[in-house]
A = this chain, B = another copy of it.
């Protein structure tokens, strides 16, 4: 059985999908607090061009600022070769590259076909691996169940992209239900199609809670033997396709479930709730996490 891994994406995927920018010092404190709460893998930012995601414009300065203690993995999203230069300058040894299972999605989202995005992926991956010892490369595959533009995505479409990524060489693949439509049945069918070519040890699930199904999907995949899940503190990061709708799975909710199941996470829920609270105060909204609310309410 793979080791249990919680990949905290709040500072990147969370903040990228919140309309209110967060000051650098608040982000730095957030990251430090996440580490205090038990985070071992944190996606801290993205080297996307600030004109596309102004919320993460301070990526270079953030990485220059934050302490990077031993035993914690820091990663950053790298959308293309220009972003790679900034990543190399920052000294991260983990990057995340991006593609999707839906052609319409890559086209609308990053103005490339899937094939073009994979070619870019390969170029960035090769250059990164050459430049960085102990390089770790994650491949994000979005829209693994449904595309907001093109509708349902067949597992075979996802398999095609996965096969390319394995051939390019990635350390892990994060499979994303980008618009949060999936129920466990969808995920089981997908896992049926991707195994055994893609093994649980190379897979992280990236569920969105837009329709309240993320935890059900987590539970189903834990039962199936998967042990790596992306989550965002407090459920930071709304649906990128409709303001007001929910997005990321909340780290608190994930931790609660795993701990109750007897899978030790090494996280401290109270500290995690505190870590998110300052950010939500800046965003002037309550956390989307049920457990966060329950902890604050000292609920029995």
A51 at the interface (CB under 8 A from B): no
Measured CB to CB, the nearest residue on chain B to A293 is B245
Q: Are A213 and B245 in contact (CB under 8 A)?
A: no
A297 close to B239 (CB less than 8 A) = yes
| Contact among B211, B215, B219 with A294 in the assembled complex (CB-CB below 8 Å) | B211
The answer to whether B294 and A257 have CB atoms under 8 Å apart is no
A250 at the interface (CB under 8 A from B): yes
Contact B212 A242 (CB under 8 A): no
- Any chain B CB within 8 A of the CB of A130? no
Q: Is the CB of A289 within 8 A of B257?
A: no
Q: Which residues of A from 251 to 300 have beta carbons under 8 Å from B?
A: 253, 256-257, 260-261, 289-291, 293-294, 296-300
Q: Does A216 contact B (CB under 8 A)?
A: yes
Interface check A243, CB cutoff 8 A = yes
Bound complex: CA of A186 vs CA of B261, how far in Å? 9
In the assembled complex, the Cα of A213 lies from the Cα of B222 at a distance in Å of 14
Residue A190, interface by CB 8 Å = no
A260 contacts across to B, CB distance below 8 A: 181, 183, 185-186
CA distance A219 to B214 in the complex (A): 11
B216 touches A294 (CB 8 A): no
Which B residues are CB-close (under 8 A) to A219?
Answer: 183-184, 216, 219-220
| Shortest CB distance A11–B (Å) | 21
Question: Looking at the complex, which one of B148, B179, B180, B218 makes contact with A216 (CB distance below 8 Å)?
Answer: B218
Nearest 5 CB-CB pairs, A to B?
A: A242-B297, A212-B290, A242-B299, A212-B253, A245-B297
Q: What are some 18 contacts across the A-B interface (CB < 8 A)?
A: A148-B300, A181-B260, A185-B260, A211-B256, A211-B290, A211-B291, A212-B215, A212-B250, A212-B289, A213-B253, A216-B218, A219-B220, A239-B294, A244-B293, A244-B297, A245-B294, A245-B296, A246-B293
